[in-house]
A and B are shown apart, each in its own frame.
Chain A
Amino acid sequence: MKRSITRLLMAPSVIMLLVWMIIPLSMTIYFSTIRYNLLYPGQNNFVGWMNFEFFITDPGFIPAVSNTLILLLSVLIITVVLGVMLSALIDKPFFGQGIVRVLLISPFFIMPTVNALIWKNMMMNPVYGIFAWISESLGFEPIDWLSSYPLMSVIIMVSWQWLPFAILVFVTALQSQDTEQKEAAQMDGATGWHIFRYLTIPHLARPIAVVVMIETIFLLAVFAEIFVSTGGGPGYDSTNLAYLIYNQALLQYDVGVASAGGLFAVLLANIVAFFLIRAVGKNLTV
């Protein structure tokens, strides 16, 4: 087929994504250099780097950046490590496999706002929550999770959502592992651990890369869980970049500073993406 036709077929997708990327992004760049507060309209003069200065010197900036990265890394580690271990353990036929699969994947379909509400109220509430009841039954003081360990609470919620996804991907991948290879290793005297370490883990390299990439896309943008559960607090303890910028823009109406923050988030995402897409892109056959 002619090159021109193939281009024509791709054009709508490419153009729409280009527009989607360029127009808002250039507006963000423009806004980030002017004074622009929705509460004081009409005073939109050029201010240069001031918005960036404001954003970077905001007391929430450093915690937000570190929280974003801690959240990303913790959830990645939890879901990948637990996911690999659990999937390796249940990768054998057993009674009710189909039902277990269905139960396992369910949290992935729960919307983030509901996720946050369930955990905030029914699990982590210090008086009536299930966790409080468990610790009291065991004779411990109940913990007020959301105010004592806000970031960890968010990490638990998000991990709960993404662990099933990781398990399911890994279980699916393990089914394609060569059984003859495992049998050969057994004949060679390999123990279960050896097989896991030298055959299973290398086999999972590609699925792990895929899981890391997809989770990163979504984890950098965690918002609703924080919005609903901790509101970024107490203080800035569970504020991530997304939440900080939302705070600037729609709660303090400071579009200029929020735009500067937005650009910073784009920069951060690009740094992460640069390494990630490069690493994972090689793994995805095109």
Chain B
Amino acid sequence: MTLNQQRKLKTFLTGLFAWTVALVLFFPIFWMFITSFKTELQAISVPPSLFFEPTLDNFRIVQERSDYIHHAWNSVVTSFGSTIIALIIAIPAAYSMAFFPGKKTKDILLWMLSTKMLPAVGVLVPIYILCRDYGLLDSKTALVIIFTLMNLPIIVWMLFSYFKDLPKEILEAARMDGATPWDEVVKVVLPLSVGAISSTALLSIVLCWNEAFWSLNLTASDAAPLTAMIASYSSPEGLFWAKLSAASTLACAPIVIFGWFCQKQLVQGLTFGAVK
């Protein structure tokens, strides 16, 4: 075999291997998707059926029975709402820490991150009781507040690491050009970090959308986002797989598709820009 043929074979084997890994990991999602178009009988047939006449009945039933639109709306409101609030609070903090670092900056950042290490169960009881006492149980307000605080450290970190990577000289050039601090932020920093801010927002939305601990414990029906709605399918209807799959597909589709478009930024985001 010539060196060139060897290289081609190697590329082929790499591709084959990569595709196999990807398909195996993706299979459960694929199966969920397929099953959602089956009848209940087809869904539990052994051996599993791959070829069947697809039906949309399951989706109709899911909407009728558990009001998908209602829960999806809750998910949208809590994810987007908390993300926007968190960004508004985090951007000034990240800006000041990245461009005007003091001796304590690193400590503050690590402390912020360490609040993420505080397990939610440690404060479950008081939060539950506070929500109960203020009439916030099963309310979107409570989820928005909690999601905001939950993601705030990560958002500050991500923005901080993006801002820090902005060439300092560009800001100095703006200062020499006569820019006030306000001009600097509005006319230079923000336009330069549109990408960074949006990928931070994306990550925050994904994390909120998939958050399950607080939404399971603090909501019942009114404010229940999709994670909680799906959990309600776990026991009583556990064997109605086709409907379960339809509900799951509906719950995950928006965020999975969303994620596909921004997976690259997400890696950078989630690793605080430490991996490029």
Contacts and interface: CB of A to CB of B under 8 A. Distances in A.
Contacts of B116: 217
A236 interface: no
Interface in A1-44: 1, 3, 5-7, 9-10, 12-14, 16-17, 20-21, 23-25, 27-28, 31
B96 A9 contact: yes
B275 A92 contact: no
Contacts, number: 312
A95 B210 CA distance: 32
Given A228-B234, A259-B125, A109 B112 contact: no
**Chief secondary structure at chain B's binding surface:** helix
B276 A172 contact: yes
Interface residues of B, number: 102
A259 B153 CA distance: 24
- The number of chain A residues touching the other chain, given as a range, is 35 or more
B251 A94 contact: no
A21 B126 CA distance: 11
Given A1-B181, A94-B14, A122 B115 contact: no
B190 interface: no
Given A110-B252, A262-B122, A206 B93 contact: no
B271 A210 contact: yes
B105 A286 contact: yes
25 contacts: A13-B90, A16-B152, A17-B152, A17-B153, A25-B126, A28-B122, A28-B123, A31-B126, A103-B23, A103-B25, A104-B22, A105-B259, A107-B28, A110-B210, A111-B230, A117-B230, A168-B267, A169-B275, A206-B275, A210-B271, A223-B121, A245-B124, A276-B117, A281-B106, A284-B161
Interface of B: 10-12, 14-15, 17-19, 21-23, 25-26, 28-29, 31-32, 35, 44-48, 89-90, 92-93, 95-97, 100-102, 105-106, 108-110, 112-130, 149, 152-153, 156, 161, 164, 181, 206, 209-210, 212-213, 216-217, 226-228, 230-231, 233-234, 238-239, 241, 244-245, 248, 251-252, 255-256, 258-260, 263-264, 266-268, 270-272, 274-276
